[in-house]
Amino acid sequence: MGCSASLLGGALLPAAVDAQVEGEPAGFIPGEATAQASTLTLGLSPGGGKPLEIVLGKSTARYQNRTATAEGTALSLGLLQIFFGPSSACGDRPPIIPADQLPPLTTNDSRRNQPMATALEVRSPGYNGTPTTPGQLGGVIGTQIANASATPQASTAGTTTVSQDYGILAIDNGSTQVTTQLSGGVRTATAVMTASRIRILGDMVVINSPRWEASTTSGGTETATGTFTFASATILGIDRTVANFPGDFNDFASGVASFLSALGVSLQYPQLVTEPGRVTMTPIVVGLNNPPIGLDFIQPLLKAIAPLREESNRKMISEDCNNQAILQVADLALGILSGSGAVSLSAGGVTAFTAATEFPEPPALEIPDLDAPVIDVPAPVVTAPPAVVNDLTLSRSTGSTSSSFASDDLGSSVVESAPPIDTGIVETAPVAAPVAEAAGPGFELPSAELVSRRIEPGSKGGTAALVGAGGLVGLLLLAGADRFVMKRTKREMPD
């Protein structure tokens, strides 16, 4: 609960602090909550780097402080959207997947107050089409929906997906549902994923009506639970009891990993992972991890045919520059198969999290009074003092020295100096310049009256200035001569 700012009448004023919600204890921190569930995830991890994931049926609900948000997506391409989306356009060729055919993301926010009543149907990306035939989307993948409300503060999201069969893993009628809520001083997050059936390695393992669920609460009630349940299951066509199935599954997984050790095959059963405020029920995973056959066979084979591959790649790119993006993904998969990385196919998986995290609001802006008093500063008055000059004779008074310049004609001059007067910082009263008499006819200028407060020069100032100026001129001449010599002289640089 914080305060914001609003603009009123041209002044920025702090808005009222949010009132305590009814049913919440005094000083209660709204905190945060997140719930997430996935149906099917394909992950590519090159050399232990961040995995490139394609997700079918992903739902996310969350809130932070007093804002709730939700997201639902039946298909998320992840980084593949960069390889195949609008940014993949090259030359005059359109992208592999146009922007209008990318899978949509359905979102909602409690501040918008735009509830969804019907789930959005999502189709798989299609093809570009031709200049005369528009591109078409593929078949239906599933549906997605997302809602968020401020009163009551809650967010929900859900997806459904049609049956997906990838040989090593298949899932029928997957569904996700996630919820977060803040009510009565209790933070709640719940994530659920269900399906009608999961099949592994053909029909070697069959799990009917699997259900993943994770739930956590904090505040007035503290709970954290995570479960994986199912109606029935078989291994190699033999029924297994619910109680014995986890152990039987792990035994079967060990046998498969041993039998297919050259391929690096692994099977993982769902596990419960708990952290402070967080509960995760991991998915069923079928994966290939750093396959030894890749190091022993595939990697040497790829090196042997590298020149042929490069020539083939150049030919494909020259025919269609869009093939470059496809080849990049193919190289990524080949890199994993050659023994460096992992590929996994996961079914299910849920996470729920709540915490009393305090998110401080920015302080209200304090605007100072803009009505500053106007200070009336009188403009300086400059008075031109009178000065008197007869003929071509100028008499000057500086407060420290007095000099007379007399000229009998325009070709010669005589300088007479009065005895110097050494002074420090002085304040001089208006001094009228003395009238200098000169022989012959002349003209008169008004006398000048000078008022100053400054450091007055002494008797040796003129001499020092002349010496300094002479030294500076000498340095400039030396620098110019040196530069001229350097330009005229050929220099040999040692090896």
**Of 89-103, 120-134, 241-255, which has the strongest mean pLDDT?**
241-255
Task: Examine the pLDDT at 436 and tell me if it is beyond 60.
Answer: no
Decide: pTM greater than 0.75: no
Please tell me the least confidently modeled range out of 159-168, 249-258, 262-271. Answer: 262-271
Domain-wise residue ranges, the chain:
30-125+137-289+344-355, 291-339, 384-406+426-457
Q: How far apart are the first and last CA of the chain?
A: 74
- Which tens digit of pLDDT belongs to each residue from 302-349? 777 778 878 887 888 777 777 777 777 777 777 766 667 778 899 999
pLDDT at 359: 83
pLDDT at 68: 95
- Which tens digit of pLDDT belongs to each residue from 113-155? 789 999 999 988 865 554 445 556 778 999 999 999 998 899 9
Q: How far apart are CA 123 and CA 107, in angstroms?
A: 17
Burial class (CB in 10 A: 0-12, 13-18, 19+), 440: exposed
pLDDT at 484: 53
Structural contact between residues 198 and 211, judged by C-beta atoms closer than 8 angstroms: no
Residue type, 317: I
Structural contact between residues 207 and 233, judged by C-beta atoms closer than 8 angstroms: yes
Structural contact between residues 209 and 347, judged by C-beta atoms closer than 8 angstroms: no
Structural contact between residues 146 and 112, judged by C-beta atoms closer than 8 angstroms: no
- Which tens digit of pLDDT belongs to each residue from 364-407? 555 555 555 555 556 555 555 555 444 444 444 444 444 444 44
pLDDT at 121: 93
Task: Examine the pLDDT at 111 and tell me if it is beyond 50.
Answer: yes
Handedness of CA 110, 113, 118, 121 (dihedral sign): negative
pLDDT at 303: 76
Confidence class for position 172, pLDDT limits 50, 70, 90:
very high
pLDDT at 429: 46
pLDDT at 113: 79
| Mean pLDDT, residues 66-75 | 94
Task: Examine the pLDDT at 1 and tell me if it is beyond 50.
Answer: no
> What does residue 489 show for φ and ψ, rounded to 5 degrees?
-95, 130
Structural contact between residues 399 and 426, judged by C-beta atoms closer than 8 angstroms: yes
Cβ contacts of residue 433 below 8 Å, gap of 6+? 387, 388, 395, 396, 397, 447, 448
| Mean pLDDT, residues 168-182 | 95
Bridge partners (DSSP) listed for residue 350: 37, 281
Task: Examine the pLDDT at 19 and tell me if it is beyond 50.
Answer: no
Task: Examine the pLDDT at 92 and tell me if it is beyond 60.
Answer: yes
